[in-house]
Amino acid sequence: MANKILYYSTNLGSEKVSFREALIRGQAPDRGLYMPEIIPVLSQDQLYSFTDKSYPEIAETILKLFINDDIPADSLHSLVVDAYNFEVPLENVYNRNYIMRLDRGPTASFKDFAARMMGRLMQYFLKQENRKMLILTATSGDTGSAIANAFYDLDNIEVVILFPIDEVTDRQRKQMTTLNKNITVLAIDGKFDDCQALVKKAFADSELSHLPLSSANSINIGRLIPQSIYYFWAWAQLANHHDDRIIFSVPSGNFGNLMGGLIAKHMGLPVERFVVSTNENDEVPVYFEKGIYQPVVPSRNCISSAMNVGHPSNMARIIALYGGVMDEKGNITKQPDIERLKADLWPVSINDNQTRQTIKQAYQQYQLLLEPHGAVAWAGLHRFFEAHPEKNFPYQLCVVLETAHPAKFPQEIEQILGIQPDLPESLANLDEQKEYMISMSNRYDDFKTYLLNR
Ligand SMILES: *Cc1c(COP(=O)(O)O)cnc(C)c1O
């Protein structure tokens, strides 16, 4: 483990780079995604030593292996403690079936785990090099608030968020506009597509090339590695012995969450199987069944809206981890080891009716309150047990990941259960706070003038 881990591009057409370089670049020059060349393996004793560690302590141990000596230990320690200042509860439902609530961060979505760590890692490197970064991002709601909150009050990083004035809910808007400081929010008189087009044009505009523009892209390696930590955490909290094998059910859209879990498994975590729970965007379940990968175009609209993805960006990484090659469009030029993939992953598609039914049943049977994404995962686990009754015994340890707080879906929950979920603290105080935003037309000239005069 003394060797320094380098990061290669899944398209195999770019040079290998350090963690720092991969983090700052985001995407590789050949449009591939960065992957660690070696996945370090932990001994059983090391894994079991996590049972009496805190979440930040586990995070520090794992991250250190991937960052090598790009960040000294004491600095990494403070970044991790600062990023993970919230609870990661595991709720028992029945037997050894648990829900891991990944919704206690500032925006009540599991994206906080990745975005907060990435922001702090970037800040560290920028400060060291005395550089600044201006992040531009267009949002239709949730991504913008996760990025805004993750980068809020960080040094050397400014964030400009564009949102369509009439297309986000009051709560979504307030999650962005009540921050201020280094976060600027532009309310665009237009649609989400207009916002995206403005950002794209700015990135391509040579007259803006003197600005340190960057996008806080979801495919960044700095978002991926942090998403392996809570798998170790769950097992460490719940395992009865060294080889207590665990089943995870992961609600999946772009498969970044799942990819984090796969890294944990390849590092030695005793995972029996990942149930890969998708909504009606079933390109991956179909690929496993038929051996042919075909993106779903256009993607299907389901109530688990953060998973409406017809071609998951992390598929290329999963294929790479199993010895294959997939380009950014989804063409597989070298087949992965499909038997090994099938031994580790069990993909399933859950439709909206089944999702609503699951929310109802889980609440009636166990007083378990799920939102649509977690419900897809809960349903997926039970479909797995129907297909594999031999795995369904009372001592089997299972963890279903709940990726958002039910209060983020008040209409859906109200319709299905007739109740209003309580707001978590992070969302409850928004109404009393002052909002900061700048109204702007959807014309590029206005946006450009704004950027030049900031
Ligand atoms: C983004 C998101 C997902 C999907 O995660 P991926 O890493 O894209 O698979 C699931 N649930 C919620 C609430 C999300 O925001």
What tens-digit pLDDT sequence spans the chain (454 residues)? 456 899 999 999 999 999 999 998 888 999 899 999 999 999 999 999 999 999 999 999 999 999 988 999 999 999 999 999 999 999 999 999 999 999 999 999 999 999 999 999 999 999 999 999 999 998 877 778 888 999 999 999 999 999 999 888 888 899 999 999 999 999 999 988 899 889 989 988 999 999 998 877 778 999 999 999 999 999 999 999 999 999 999 999 999 999 999 999 999 999 999 999 999 999 999 999 999 999 999 889 999 988 999 999 899 999 999 999 999 889 999 999 999 999 999 999 999 999 999 999 999 999 999 999 999 999 999 999 999 999 999 999 999 999 999 999 999 999 999 999 999 888 888 888 999 999 999 999 999 999 999 8
What is the domain count for the chain? 1
Ligand 1 in reach of 125 Cβ (< 6 A): no
User: Tokens 């995070």 sit at which residue?
Assistant: 59
User: Tokens 């201006």 sit at which residue?
Assistant: 134
Single-letter code of the amino acid located at 292: I
Ligand 1 in reach of 313 Cβ (< 6 A): no
Q: What is the pLDDT of residue 334?
A: 96
- The alpha carbon of 140 and the centre of ligand 1 are apart by a number of angstroms equal to 15
Alpha-carbon distance of 155 to 181, in angstroms, equals 10
Tokens found for residue 364: 């009636």
Please check whether residue 369 lies inside any domain of the structure: yes
In degrees, rounded to 5, the angle at the alpha carbon of residue 420 between the alpha carbons of residues 419 and 421 is 110
Please check whether residue 265 lies inside any domain of the structure: yes
**Chain center to CA of 167:** 23
Tokens found for residue 111: 């994206």
Ligand 1 in reach of 307 Cβ (< 6 A): yes
Kindly report the CATH number assigned to the domain that includes residue 103. 3.40.50.1100
Please check whether residue 338 lies inside any domain of the structure: yes
Q: What is the pLDDT of residue 378?
A: 98
Tokens found for residue 309: 């993805």
- The alpha carbon of 300 and the centre of ligand 1 are apart by a number of angstroms equal to 15
- The alpha carbon of 257 and the centre of ligand 1 are apart by a number of angstroms equal to 7
In degrees, rounded to 5, the angle at the alpha carbon of residue 202 between the alpha carbons of residues 188 and 326 is 105
Please check whether residue 445 lies inside any domain of the structure: no
How confident is the model over 327-378, as pLDDT tens digits?
988 999 999 999 999 999 999 999 999 999 999 999 999 999 999 999 999 9
Please check whether residue 381 lies inside any domain of the structure: yes
Tokens found for residue 274: 């990942």
Alpha-carbon distance of 24 to 46, in angstroms, equals 31
Ligand 1 in reach of 406 Cβ (< 6 A): no
Pocket test for ligand 1, best of 99, 107, 110 (most atoms within 8 A of CB): 110
Please check whether residue 377 lies inside any domain of the structure: yes
Among the listed residues 264, 179, 259, 262, the one whose alpha carbon sits nearest the alpha carbon of residue 220: 259
How confident is the model over 184-223, as pLDDT tens digits?
999 999 988 899 889 989 988 999 999 998 877 778 999 9
Alpha-carbon distance of 413 to 408, in angstroms, equals 9
- The alpha carbon of 448 and the centre of ligand 1 are apart by a number of angstroms equal to 32
- The alpha carbon of 253 and the centre of ligand 1 are apart by a number of angstroms equal to 6
Ligand 1 in reach of 24 Cβ (< 6 A): no
Q: What is the pLDDT of residue 1?
A: 46
- Which residues touch 270 (CB under 8 Å, ≥6 apart)? 47, 235, 239, 242, 243, 244, 245, 246
Please check whether residue 46 lies inside any domain of the structure: no
> Are the beta carbons of 348 and 285 closer than 8 angstroms?
yes
Alpha-carbon distance of 183 to 176, in angstroms, equals 8
Residues of the domain holding 370: 87-108+224-417
- Concatenating the DSSP letter of every residue in 339-361 gives HHHHHHEEEEE--HHHHHHHHHH
Pocket test for ligand 1, best of 248, 307, 309, 317 (most atoms within 8 A of CB): 307
DSSP 189: S
Please check whether residue 353 lies inside any domain of the structure: yes
CA of 309, closest atom in ligand 1:
8
> Are the beta carbons of 161 and 128 closer than 8 angstroms?
no
Other beta carbons within 10 Å of 274: 23
